[in-house]
Amino acid sequence: MALADPVHDKEIGVATASKTKGVPEWDRIANIEDLREIARKRVPKTFFEYVEAGSYDELTLRANRACLDALELRQRVMVDVSSRVQATTIVGQPVSLPVVLAPAGLTGAVYPNGEIHAARAAAAFGIPFCLSTMSVCSIEDVADSAAGPFWFQLYLMKDHGFSRTLIERAHAAQCPVLVLTMDLHVEGQRVVDVHNGLGIPPKLTLANVLDVAMHPRWAFGMLRSREYTFGNLKDAIRNSGNLGILSEWVKQQFDPSFDQHDVEWVRKLWPGKLIVKGILDPQDAEIAVAAGADAILVSNHGGRQLDGAPSTAEAFPAVRDVVGDRAELLFDSGIRSGLDLLKALALGARACFIGRAYLYGLGAYGEQGVRKTLSLLSEELDTGMALTGVTDVRAVPRDVIVQPSE
């Protein structure tokens, strides 16, 4: 079904007409940071900072980037790299690039019907899109409008009956992969969200009203949004149109009691591939594999949960050494370039999840911006492979990263 997009239809034309030093804005996009700057101007401050924020003092948020930056690549030039392959598989699914668009709550608040546009961009590029439980567009919305199968991310609720319903809905939508998030049984506080009054419902302040008024393109686009709440949760309770009531229900559903038995329960219900997300500790990885995980997503939730936790790059080697080849290992948190991808693959990851990187593209140009994000990552990865002597993303040797002793 075609989805009207009054914003995107005009975006490229506006960008092309906006020139600095004679070069159109679109043609000056050289990296993810360029898309970030455009998104910062086009997305209301409240929602842009929601994307950017880490929890508490943002120590882990900064560590994710600092630790990736600190890894040095070994330059190799006496190697034939005339043929380079980026295609691989992730839990058995063929992909054109070792990347998954990570589940992100409120994606549809960054750009009108954002989940649908991101899913379409991913399908066009040949990679998976993963829909969040806390999305604006529902499972059914995306299934109805996206160009192909997508993955679904599940937050377990205290109400296991409703969790079962979400699993059944994802299966009915032909989602081949379920991503079970384990690190949100309590919620880390994001200070900027408190300052901005971001909640369900958002606090109506003069600053917020002015913020929206300063972004008319975003505001008018939102008039065409399919949902104005958490689309997957609206059937959970009566009066779900009352955002205050729905918010209280969501807060009460976070369950600090769940453990490996709940993973086993999900494993029995879910017939497809199961990825367990939010693992930083080798012991937790062992438990997840024993409970039936097909893959482990090493992640600190993008620095949005436990502040002071290790970066993914720091935590990954210990998890890798414990898991071995019993499950695929995936990398999440901090990826901003194709060179970051290469570093993660050298650490032992099969592929990487990206969140903020694609949300910047989405906020800047909608579906076209997400495609631009993926093109940039692919081009940067290709250059990195050529200059490190790597010809296949399925066989990136660990010595691509220079060891400290060397």
CATH 3.40.50.10310 is right for the domain spanning 8-400: no
- Using alpha carbons, select from 333, 49, 56 the residue that is nearest to residue 189: 56
Q: What is the mean pLDDT of the chain?
A: 90
Q: How confident is the model at residue 227 (pLDDT cuts 50, 70, 90)?
A: confident
User: Tens of pLDDT along 163-197?
Assistant: 999 999 999 999 999 999 999 888 888 888 888 87
H or E stretch at 344: helix 338-347
pLDDT on residue 236: 75
pLDDT on residue 202: 57
Catalytic residue chosen out of the listed positions 8, 117, 215, 301: 301
Distances (CA, A) of 155 to 68, 132, 134, 400: 28, 8, 9, 36
Report, in angstroms and rounded to the nearest whole number, the Rg of the chain calculated over CA atoms: 21
Mean pLDDT within 383-387: 98
Q: Residue 350 above 60 pLDDT?
A: yes
Mean pLDDT within 5-14: 43
pLDDT on residue 293: 98
Please indicate whether residue 160 is annotated as part of the active site: no
Measured between alpha carbons, how far is 68 from 65 in angstroms, rounded to an integer?
A: 5
pTM of the model: 0.92
Please tell me the least confidently modeled range out of 17-21, 57-61, 360-364. Answer: 17-21
3-state SS class at 311 = coil
- Joined tokens for residue 9: 């239809």
Contact 186, 192 (CB under 8 A): no
Q: How confident is the model at residue 209 (pLDDT cuts 50, 70, 90)?
A: confident
Mean pLDDT within 223-238: 83
Domains of the chain, by residue range, sit at 8-400
Mean pLDDT within 222-251: 75
User: Tens of pLDDT along 129-160?
Assistant: 999 999 999 999 999 998 889 999 999 988 89
- Joined tokens for residue 210: 């002015």
pLDDT on residue 243: 56
Q: How confident is the model at residue 24 (pLDDT cuts 50, 70, 90)?
A: confident
More reliable by pLDDT, 237 or 78: 78
Please tell me the least confidently modeled range out of 18-22, 187-191, 310-314, 353-357. Answer: 18-22
pLDDT on residue 35: 98
Q: Residue 17 above 60 pLDDT?
A: no
Strand positions, DSSP E, 14-171: 19-20, 23-24, 88-90, 93-95, 99-101, 130-131, 151-155
pLDDT on residue 232: 92
Q: Residue 19 above 60 pLDDT?
A: no
User: Tens of pLDDT along 30-73?
Assistant: 999 999 999 999 999 999 999 999 999 999 999 999 999 999 99
Residue 256: CB atoms within 10 A of its CB come to 8
User: Tens of pLDDT along 69-121?
Assistant: 999 999 999 999 999 999 999 999 999 999 999 999 999 999 999 999 999 99
Mean pLDDT within 6-29: 60
User: Tens of pLDDT along 261-319?
Assistant: 999 999 999 999 999 999 999 999 999 999 999 999 999 999 999 999 999 999 999 99
pLDDT on residue 197: 77
Q: How confident is the model at residue 238 (pLDDT cuts 50, 70, 90)?
A: low
**Cβ neighbours of residue 34 closer than 8 Å, sequence gap 6 or more:** 28
Measured between alpha carbons, how far is 75 from 282 in angstroms, rounded to an integer?
A: 31
